[in-house]
Amino acid sequence: MIQRILVPLDGSCLAETALAHAAALAASLGTELLLLRVVEAHSVPDPMASGIDWRLRRAEAEAYLGGVANRLRAAGVEAATAVVAGKAADEIVGFARARGADLVILSAHGRGEASRFPLGGTVQKVLSNAPFSVMVVRPAEGGAAPAIGLRYRRIVVPVNGSAASEWALCLAASIARQHGAELLMLQIAPEAPPAWERVPRSAEETELVERLQGFQRQRVEKYLHELASQLADSGIQVRGRVAPAPQVARGIQEAALEEGADLLVLSAHAAGGAAFPHGGVAEHLLAQSAIPVLVLQDLPGEGWEEGPRAAVSSHR
């Protein structure tokens, strides 16, 4: 599962939006928390030739991270800190690889990052090169960061019958259990838009399609009921919902907003395919969702081979 969480910070209030979520997840999952500050390469063109300047900048960065770590410690969350020099995106990915970070939590648009990218240039570059799980948090209006100690109230997990989506459900269940949050399993039922059919259906065809859709919905509802029964046995408040939508990603986004969710958890490539680093649905939600999105990268191994239902049992 997740054992080490990395939070890159640039000293801005916008970047610190990710802190409360990192603290909440670290406490829920019992993971190590790392705070990273990258001193941009253009600020230190030649550290050897400008040793004093570099030492001053590093000392400032270390003092800043130390202050953040103290705030977290006061809330009962321990965090290690590190300062490196270089290009932000490259250093974040390299540091995560070197330190074995399983999850990197990023705030959209850090210091001065207005750009043509919906998430900011640095965040977009990290996501494009991330072999690890990622979470993106959008700053609230006004830029105020949520307080350390936040608790999730409703967590939405899209499921589609795949092992990957059920694996994401297991981790979301662990978080929900610790926060006393409701866990909503969301199944999107894709709809073909009316314009798709150029030749109108006959009454017999319409009846047949409606019957098939009814059978499919019954299967989905039975599947969600089975999952809910397993999770409810472990003391989690859980329910399922089937939401028809012409597009899966947009359907998830709209349903999560309707439900008042404060966290979305899904697996990368849950439906298969790798046209995008995390899959098309995850990429859309990372870029567009106003709700924090946690995307779990595919992690094959012993826990994966055991299957999602075994993982549910192991967390009871």
3-state secondary structure string across 250-262: HHHHHHHHHCCCC
CATH code for the domain in which residue 307 is found: 3.40.50.620
Which pLDDT band holds residue 273 (cuts at 50, 70, 90)? very low
pLDDT of residue 118: 61
Which pLDDT band holds residue 310 (cuts at 50, 70, 90)? very low
Q: How far apart are CA 25 and CA 305, in angstroms?
A: 24
pLDDT of residue 144: 66
Q: Residue 104: inside a domain, yes or no?
A: yes
Domain count, the chain: 2
Q: Residue 167: inside a domain, yes or no?
A: yes
For 94-103, what is each residue's pLDDT tens digit? 999 999 999 9
Write down which residue in 82, 102, 137 finishes a domain.
137
Q: Residue 100: inside a domain, yes or no?
A: yes
For 98-137, what is each residue's pLDDT tens digit? 999 999 999 986 554 444 556 778 898 999 888 889 999 9
Q: How far apart are CA 135 and CA 20, in angstroms?
A: 12
pLDDT of residue 116: 52
pLDDT of residue 121: 81
- Domain limits at 73? 4-137
Average pLDDT, the chain: 82
The distance of Cα 256 from the centroid of its chain, to the nearest Å, equals 14
Write down which residue in 111, 137, 163 finishes a domain.
137
Q: From edge to edge, which strands make up the β-sheet containing 263-267? A: 80-86, 32-40, 4-9, 103-107, 133-137, 293-296, 263-267, 154-158, 182-190, 238-245
pLDDT of residue 311: 39
pLDDT of residue 47: 52
- Quick one: DSSP state of residue 288? H
Q: Which residues face 26 on adjacent strands?
A: none
User: Is residue 150 a contact partner of residue 143, using CB atoms and an 8 Å limit?
Assistant: no
- % of the chain surpassing 70 pLDDT: 80
pLDDT of residue 24: 95
